[in-house]
Amino acid sequence: MDIVPFVMLTVNTRYITRWVGGGLLLLIPVFNFLSLGYLTKTSNLLMVGGIGLPTWDDRSEIWKDGAKLLYIFILYEALPSFLFSCGFFLSSFGNLVTALLGWILKWLAACAFVGCSFFLPFGFCAFAENREVRNAFEFEKILSAVKNVLPHYILGFVVTAACLYVTYKLHRIPFLLGFILSSALTYYVFLIATFYFTQLFRKGRLPAEREGE
């Protein structure tokens, strides 16, 4: 995966300001489209074998890519969001039957969230390759790529989720410091995950490409 050299590169003074800026914008509505779009641009650069981090040139395109990525995320998580909303609604009635149904739906929502989120990294990579939203929903190709690198994929997914949990907890640090640290380090986790899953996506789809040739 060569992830260590990439980490060393991202803390180089030439590149560190590029992702820190994105991190500070991550939790600010509308502006965070730029942060998401920069991840797309990074994945696109890595997809063609580029080295380093992309610049922030053409911010309008970066912003549009971020809006598309958020749209993809919303669609991926539509089912768990719907189940959780139904569960919360039923729980609000206060009687035993609806409370039980509400608990079941919330549990199903949690399972659906994990299941839908599991394929999101490669869905993101498929989108980032040529910035076509529909590519993120070509589940047959995504599933095939995941199966080809399943152990590494699961490892990356679990480690990323654990790191995001830790960086989220940093917001409890008092004053503005916690917000800044949580936002910047959460974005950094996304950046490292972008590198990891993009390289994995390139590796995972190679067998299928060879069969088609």
What does each of the 213 residues of the chain score in pLDDT, given as a tens digit?
578 888 888 888 888 888 988 898 888 888 999 999 999 999 999 998 888 889 898 899 999 999 999 999 999 999 999 999 998 888 888 788 888 898 999 999 999 999 999 999 999 999 999 899 999 999 999 999 999 999 999 999 999 999 999 999 988 888 888 888 999 999 999 999 999 999 999 988 765 454 443
Query: What is the residue extent of each domain of the chain?
Result: 3-178+192-212
Residue type, 205: R
Torsion of CA 93, 95, 100, 105, to 10 degrees: -10
- To 10 degrees, what angle do helices 32-47 and 59-76 make? 90
Structure tokens at 75: 């669609």
Contact 34, 62 (CB under 8 A): yes
The pLDDT score that the predictor gives to residue 212 is: 45
CA distance 63 to 85: 30
pTM: 0.88
Task: Tell me if 80 sits within 8 A of 116, measured CB to CB.
Answer: yes
Angle between helix 16-25 and 175-212 (nearest 10): 110
The values of phi and psi at residue 57, to 5°, are -65, 155
Residue 209 is predicted with a pLDDT of 52
Confidence (pLDDT) at 50: 82
Distances (CA, A) of 203 to 32, 92, 208: 30, 48, 10
Residues 6+ apart with CB under 8 A from 98: 90, 91
Q: Using an 8 Å Cβ cutoff, are 20 and 180 in contact?
A: no
